[in-house]
Structure 1
């Protein structure tokens, strides 16, 4: 099982869904990148989650990288899968759409 982090997203303005992310393998303890970041379609993130990999949001605040909420796969009514932040109880200050845009 690998751990990835997403630090930027591309959102389709017509439906407010994430279409692409900038991500890479990350060390969940130090928040350091373990591979080069790349921009991929959201379907690749969904596939990684479905195969057991862990995906987190990653925010840079005051020059420090901090893991935000975990990312989960979601099903849309049109039959396509997407991603969203997994916020148990809804008590978190950052969401996927708070990430910078690519």
Structure 2
């Protein structure tokens, strides 16, 4: 989790785990229900969502800080996960937070 913002490949993860890529992929899927790269992308998007909810950082900074690269990449992945682009997600999240505070 500490390295989600870094470029990671399945080969990097397998090497770190001391197993083959095939073994890592199989075990990862058995444990999480997703392949390593899908799991990694989900965690990155979750962490980007948290930044969007709690900061006013520009989209490019959010994307880079969470390993998604560019604001365009953040937009594509967030749209797939939530149906909202980053700006709309941030606005909706701040409205929900304000409503919950009252």
- Tell me the TM-score normalised to structure 2 length: 0.27
User: Whose relative contact order is higher, 1 or 2, with alpha carbons under 8 Å and at least 6 apart?
Assistant: 1
Larger radius of gyration: 2
The structure that is helix-richer by fraction is 2
